[in-house]
Structure formats: structure tokens, C-alpha cells
Amino acid sequence: MSFLRARTAALAVLIALGAAPLPLQAADNDPVVAVVNGKQIRKSALVDLQQQLPQLRQVPLEMVYEQLLDHLINSEIVTAEARKQKLQDDPKVKERMRQIEAQLMQQAYLSRRIEKEVTPELVKKRYDEFVKANPPQEEVRARHILLEDEAAAKAVIDDIQKGASFEDVAKEKSKGPSAETGGDLGFFTKDDMVPEFAQAAFAMKAGEVSKTPVKTQFGWHVIKVEERRMGQPPKLEELEEQLRGEASEEVVADILQNLRAKAQVKRFQIDGSPLAEAEPADGKPKAK
């Protein structure tokens, strides 16, 4: 399927699901891109529709302009025809509209509460708490040569002690996926590796090669430590989206808890019959 045909197919899915664009407010730089039976369609409506499709968000608008515009034109034509037939008065349509209105109001209410309560100050506070609870750990950058048996590992250590390049031997003899990069594993903490490997690597100095092979569940390793350093906490920008999301979830949970505490709710069985009354904690029947 071609690039544009794939985008057209995505729009077809949107139409089938009944998604309707929510045009942005017109602005001076928001030109009219079509007029359907006297009703204007502006560029902002295309932008908004594009944002509703995750697979199109990063695509330049110009590449999907015709498909998006066709969808909006078709939507306007079909909607106008439906109104001519008074479908807005159909009970099922009215109920569906009521449901959509309720969903939009819920989203608007929660969004405004989140915007009000999840402030930059709150996100910064949660970041500081995260950094305090997750202090930096020591990190090691190492290379390794993975071999299938101890004898082969000892032979490799002997070759390196005689002057062979660790990186060259790793590329030639290592069975691990890092062989192509000379056994380079990058920086890691103790928790990133299996215990046997981590214990050996963190006991070595920078520039040192293991004097005896290290056995793990993956085989026999010859290790070379390149560098040691203290890790740095992630920057606020790297965690901001995650922290904001977590804070938003907590805000919504608090809102629901408070609203439910004030609401009068009566639940029934799935067939509509009354729920059985809960037994008292002491197991004795309630007094009548």
C-alpha cells in the first residue's frame, strides 16, 4: 500500500468509527479551505482532524491535505442531508448526542481541574522527591568477551596478557551480541547485570582485565573495565511527562473519590434486582 493510500485508509477508519472533528477557533491566519453549501471549512479543522489520528500527527499537513479536506467535505454533506431528514429528532440520535455531550463535559471538567492543580511547581516538587528517593548509583563502562567454556576463556585471557587487543579478540571470538562493537556494554549499574557479572566488574579498576573467567548463566566472560563514574539523575525535562501524568491520575482519583462521597448511589444486580444487603462485621443478623 502506498504512503498516501495508507493515510486514506486511516481516514476511512476514522469515518467508520464516527469520529467528528472539533474545529479550532478561527484566527487571522486560519484561511477558508472550502465552502460547502455556503458553510466555510477552515484550515484549523484539518489540523484538528489530523491530530486525532496518531499515525498522521508527524506527517506534514501538505501530504495529507487532500484526504483530510475530502473527509471534512464529505462529513459536511452527509450531516446536511441527515438534518434535512430530521435525524436530529430521532430518539436514538438524541440519546447518542446526550452521551457525547456528557463525555465532552466530563473531559472538559477533568482537564480544567488537572490544568489548575498540576502546576509546574507541583511537577518540580515531585521531581525533587524522585531524585531524593533515587540517589545516583555508581556506574561502570565495560567490555566483555563471551565464550562457551572455561578453557576457551582462559586462553583468551592468556592472549590478552601477551598483548592482544581486547577489542579485536572480542570481535573475533565473542559469542555475545556485543562482539561487533568489540564487546562494548556501555555504562551500567550493578542492578543492570546478573549478580556474578556485576560483582566481578565492580570489583575491578578502570583499565583492568579480569584475571580469571567469570561464569554466568550465559557462559564464561572475560571482562575489561573501561571507566567508572557516579551516575547522574535524569533531568526534569526527561521525566516531566511521566511526572505530570502520574500527578494527573492522582488528581482525577481524588476528584472521583470526593464526588462519590457526596453522591447518592444505589446499585443493582446485572438483572436489575436488588443487591443482597451486606452482612454485619460480627456475623449477627441486623435488628428489625
Domains and CATH numbers, the chain: 3-85 (no CATH), 138-230 (3.10.50.40)
CA distance 139 to 206: 11
Amino acid (1-letter code) at residue 284: K
In sequence order, the 6+-apart residues with CB closer than 8 A to the CB of 54 are: none
pLDDT at 278: 52
Model's pTM, two decimal places?
A: 0.62
CA distance 84 to 92: 17
Coil/strand/helix, residue 262:
helix
| Cα-based angle 115, 261, 120 (whole degrees, multiple of 5) | 20
Residue-level pLDDT, tens digit, the chain, 288 residues: 444 444 444 444 444 434 444 444 444 689 999 999 999 999 999 999 999 998 999 999 999 999 999 999 999 999 999 999 999 999 999 999 999 999 999 999 999 999 999 999 999 999 999 999 999 999 999 999 999 999 999 999 999 999 999 999 999 999 989 999 999 999 999 999 999 999 999 999 999 999 999 999 999 999 999 999 999 999 999 999 999 999 999 999 999 999 999 999 999 999 999 987 654 545 455 554
Taking CA atoms, 37 is separated from 43, 47, 76, in Å, by: 17, 22, 9
CA distance 14 to 22: 13
- Tell me which residue has cell 434535512: 84
pLDDT at 10: 43
Coil/strand/helix, residue 59:
coil
Q: Are 234 and 128 in contact (CB under 8 A)?
A: no
Reported as type and span, the H/E element at residue 145 is strand 138-147
CA distance 125 to 118: 11
